[in-house]
């Protein structure tokens, strides 16, 4: 059976989307689901996740230390069934790269799962504090719980 493929997207693919990838993976059966993450930007291609994301993940039993940054590609719109973005900027950047309505329909703001229609961002914690990363973790955990329930 073909696996359902889910892609998490943020700007750098080092703070938010690798955490979302790890959290959702922990809630779904790997025989049925494949989960990946990418950035809209190219700066951190080949890099491991930010150490603050790795730390908050480990604190909650999720190890994302072996993930490697990559950038969103045109093929991702074909390969993946669901594409979750972290904020409005990601949404604009991702929709700009899509090439059909079918592809655009795959793209959803991740917190729409918790606050439908409210367009709530998962704030970029890159220039923030440890507490900002903890808040991001909680938001992503709530969203991934909803996603796992809905799938």
Residues that bind ligand 4NP (CB under 6 A): 10-16, 43, 124, 126
The active-site residue out of 25, 87, 124, 144 is: 124
CA–CA separation, 106 and 125 (whole Å): 25
CB of 81 to ligand 4NP, least distance (A): 22
CB of 110 to ligand 4NP, least distance (A): 12
CB of 118 to ligand 4NP, least distance (A): 20
CA–CA separation, 98 and 1 (whole Å): 27
- Return the number of the residue (4 or 71) whose C-beta is nearest ligand 4NP: 71
> What are the start-end ranges of the H helices in 30-87?
51-59, 76-79
Give, in order, the Cα–Cα distances in Å from 12 to each of 15, 23, 55, 99, 126. Answer: 7, 18, 17, 22, 9
35, 6 in Cβ contact below 8 A? yes
- Catalytic, 70? Answer no
The active-site residue out of 10, 15, 25, 76 is: 10
The active-site residue out of 16, 50, 52, 76 is: 16
Active site positions, annotated: 10, 16, 124
């Amino acid at each position: 059976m073909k696996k359902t493929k889910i892609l998490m997207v943020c700007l750098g693919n080092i703070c938010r989307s690798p955490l979302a990838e790890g959290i959702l993976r922990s809630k779904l059966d790997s025989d049925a689901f494949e989960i990946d993450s990418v950035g809209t930007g190219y700066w951190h291609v080949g890099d491991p996740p930010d150490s603050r994301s790795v730390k908050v993940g480990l604190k909650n039993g999720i190890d994302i230390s072996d993930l490697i940054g990559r950038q969103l590609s045109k093929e991702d719109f074909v390969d993946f069934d669901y594409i979750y973005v972290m904020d409005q900027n990601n949404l604009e950047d991702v929709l700009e790269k899509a090439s059909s309505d079918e592809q655009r329909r795959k793209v959803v703001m991740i917190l729409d799962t918790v606050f439908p229609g409210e367009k709530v961002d998962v704030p970029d914690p890159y220039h923030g504090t440890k507490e900002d990363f903890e808040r991001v973790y909680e938001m992503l955990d709530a969203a991934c719980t909803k996603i796992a329930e809905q799938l």
